[in-house]
């Protein structure tokens, strides 16, 4: 078993981030996820601080874990209070966990100005608390709060606090950069100096106030620390804690620490997203390893190199951490971007084939007019099919009309959309109401098509965004509408651009429905290639722009 230990404090330190409030059920679900990930210690909370944490520790007694040890967190006894009657210390025992983590002061400035006690009393508080807990046969981890600041200010006293913890039986000592302001080389220097005196396992607990939390954690491990603390996604107070997702991946890929099994690493991205969902936080696209953009490439030169060999711009295989490579389509694209997306659609196309250049030229023309395909993969795949003449329209718009009526004294806006479509040889003419023009158009379009394409009922619109492209034109500015739709686990985006927000919405809406239906029908590559398209993409684009 690896000598290195990973300690998660998402449920306590992570929960101190603004906007995060885990329920007891959330916390139990996260514990199970972290256990499967291979985390050694899971800090459940501070049992003496609130009823929720006590309920959590009570309910956790009936849950068996594979390897993780649940840890209760608390502070040393209060100044001038006997340890056996200190409520916080007794609450640690009441949590009935095999491990307790005790936090104590290492910075003389904090002892005098925060605790309001003497330096000697602080040493006694550390020693008494750890000794008391060790007599109960518990594993005790000592968190030396503000250690690096304390060491810089008064190294002799900071080391005295560690001696007090070690002599009292602490099983490991964690050096905390609580303010998150220590630089990596200073972390390295101080850890190496501490190791000269102590053989006890040392750990690192870093905050991210200066953006150094992961760097400080990694350099601590390189300098002899064997215990590292952090939170999933770096959640925490102020600027957050060290992100365990990045730490775990770096331990494996950069430090060659053989601790996590392949299936555990593959779960990293999924666990990151589940914890974000439970925390009610938006996933961070730029998060190393597990973020949506971690293996995303946009520039044509980059894409060409990645297609030839992934190591040119990637230092890890995205699938190893459960992520995936993404190629963006924009005005910066080259033929390699197009070819990658074509390959995703299982359509064979050689690099110098004229259609590849044609797709690229149409793409750049449309981006110049305001289109953007980075979040509109559905529209881009339709673009490929249309340009390669492998696309057969499912329906054609003959006409639509919107009625918006608001009586002067009325409180509600009445919206009705009337639509006329040609589907094969049939003309479908229908109308529907909605709570707004886009909703009314969506309802009318679905109503017109659901008899012919009943699978349209499974397509759901999940997001709608409008971006003004040039604000100087005021209300007459061109806008870009992005619609995100979903069918089961499949999600896609579509885009429309126009000076008229209704028209831009219609273009994106039609692409959304059409792409969803084509994917649902799941035609074979040969069927797509053999489909007859009587109009070119450029002609279709002109028709859509001027219905």
Q: Residue 260 gets which letter from DSSP?
A: S
- Residues lower than pLDDT 50 in the chain: 1, 330-338, 342, 344-352, 521-547
Cα–Cα distance between 440 and 505 in angstroms, integer? Answer: 11
Domain 396-545 CATH assignment equals 3.30.160.270: yes
CA angle 151, 153, 155 (to 5 degrees): 40
Domain boundaries, the chain: 5-278, 396-545
Cα–Cα distance between 103 and 77 in angstroms, integer? Answer: 10
From 465, 400, 477, 463, select the one nearest 431 (Cα to Cα).
Answer: 400
Q: Is 291 exposed, middle or buried (0-12, 13-18, 19+ CB in 10 A)?
A: buried
- Using the Cα atoms of residue 133, residue 196, residue 39 and residue 238 in order, give the sign of their dihedral: positive
Cα–Cα distance between 171 and 168 in angstroms, integer? Answer: 9
> Do the Cβ atoms of 323 and 269 come closer than 8 Å?
yes
> Do the Cβ atoms of 20 and 14 come closer than 8 Å?
yes
pLDDT, position 359: 67
> Do the Cβ atoms of 497 and 435 come closer than 8 Å?
no
Cα–Cα distance between 273 and 292 in angstroms, integer? Answer: 10
How do 479-487 and 460-468 pair as beta strands?
antiparallel
- Which residues lie closer than 8 Å to 398 by C-beta, 6 or more apart? 420, 421, 422, 427
CATH topology match: 5-278 vs 396-545: no
pLDDT, position 49: 74
- Using the Cα atoms of residue 273, residue 278, residue 281 and residue 287 in order, give the sign of their dihedral: negative
- Which residues lie closer than 8 Å to 450 by C-beta, 6 or more apart? 456, 457
pLDDT, position 540: 36
CATH of domain 5-278: 3.20.20.70
Cα–Cα distance between 506 and 500 in angstroms, integer? Answer: 10
pLDDT, position 165: 98
Q: What is residue 330's three-state secondary structure? A: coil
Alpha helices in 102-253 (DSSP H): 108-110, 119-134, 147-153, 155-167, 184-195, 213-222, 244-253
Query: What pTM value is reported for the model?
Result: 0.69
- Which residues lie closer than 8 Å to 280 by C-beta, 6 or more apart? 19, 20, 21
pLDDT, position 539: 35
Q: What is residue 18's three-state secondary structure? A: coil
From 303, 480, 478, select the one nearest 379 (Cα to Cα).
Answer: 480
Supply the DSSP string of 504-524, one letter for each residue: HHHHHHHHHHHHHHHHHH---
Q: Which residues pair with 75 in a beta bridge?
A: 103
Residue 485 has a CB neighbour count (10 Å cut-off) of: 23
Cα–Cα distance between 485 and 432 in angstroms, integer? Answer: 20
Calculate the dihedral angle through the C-alpha atoms of 134, 138, 141, 144, rounding to the nearest 10 degrees: -40
């Amino acid at each position: 078993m690896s000598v290195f230990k990973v300690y998660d404090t998402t449920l306590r330190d992570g929960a101190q981030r603004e906007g995060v409030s885990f329920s007891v059920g959330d916390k139990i679900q996260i514990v199970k996820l972290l256990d499967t990930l291979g985390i050694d210690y899971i800090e459940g909370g501070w049992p003496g601080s609130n009823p929720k944490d006590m309920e959590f520790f009570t309910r956790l007694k009936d849950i068996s874990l594979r390897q993780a040890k649940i840890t209760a967190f608390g502070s040393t006894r209060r100044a001038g209070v006997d340890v056996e009657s200190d409520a916080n210390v007794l609450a640690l025992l009441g949590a009935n966990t095999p491990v307790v983590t005790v936090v104590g002061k290492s910075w003389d400035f904090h002892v005098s100005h925060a605790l309001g006690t003497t330096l000697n009393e602080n040493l006694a508080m550390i020693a008494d608390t750890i000794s008391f807990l060790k007599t109960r046969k518990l594993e005790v981890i000592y968190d030396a709060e503000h250690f690096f600041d304390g060491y810089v200010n008064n190294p002799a006293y900071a080391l005295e606090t560690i001696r007090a913890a070690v002599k009292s039986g602490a099983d490991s000592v964690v050096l905390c950069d609580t303010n998150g302001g220590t630089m990596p080389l200073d972390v390295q220097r101080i850890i190496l100096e501490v190791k000269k005196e102590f053989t006890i396992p040392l750990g690192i607990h870093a905050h991210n106030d200066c953006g150094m939390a992961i760097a400080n954690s990694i350099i601590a491990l390189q300098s002899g620390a064997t215990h590292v603390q952090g939170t999933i996604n770096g959640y925490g107070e102020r600027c957050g804690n060290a992100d365990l997702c990045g730490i775990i991946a770096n331990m494996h890929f950069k430090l060659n620490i053989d601790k996590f099994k392949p299936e555990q690493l593959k779960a990293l991205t999924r666990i990151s997203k589940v914890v974000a969902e439970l925390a009610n936080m938006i996933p961070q696209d730029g998060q190393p390893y597990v973020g949506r953009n971690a293996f995303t490439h946009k520039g044509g030169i980059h894409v060409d190199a990645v297609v030839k060999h992934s190591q040119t711009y990637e230092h890890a295989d995205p699938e190893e951490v459960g992520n995936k490579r993404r190629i963006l389509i924009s005005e910066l694209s080259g033929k390699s971007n197009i070819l990658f997306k074509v390959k995703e659609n299982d359509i064979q196309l050689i690099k110098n084939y004229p259609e590849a250049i044609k797709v690229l030229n149409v793409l750049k023309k449309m981006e110049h007019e305001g289109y953007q395909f980075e979040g509109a993969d559905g529209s881009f795949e339709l673009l490929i099919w249309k340009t390669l003449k492998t696309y057969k329209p499912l329906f054609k718009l003959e006409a639509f009309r919107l009625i918006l009526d608001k009586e002067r004294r009325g409180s509600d806006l009445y919206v009705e959309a009337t639509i006329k479509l040609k589907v094969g040889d049939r003309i479908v003419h229908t109308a529907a109401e909605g709570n707004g023009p886009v909703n009314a158009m969506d309802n009318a379009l679905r109503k017109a098509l659901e008899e012919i394409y009943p699978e349209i009922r499974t397509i759901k619109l999940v997001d709608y965004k409008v971006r003004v492209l040039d604000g100087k034109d005021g209300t007459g500015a061109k806008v870009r509408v992005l619609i995100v739709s979903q069918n089961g686990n499949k999600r896609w985006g579509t885009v429309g651009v126009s000076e008229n927000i209704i028209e831009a919405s219609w273009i994106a809406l039609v692409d959304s429905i059409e792409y969803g239906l084509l994917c649902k029908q799941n035609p074979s590559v040969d069927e797509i290639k053999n489909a007859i398209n009587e109009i070119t993409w450029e002609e279709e684009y002109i028709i859509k722009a001027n219905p």
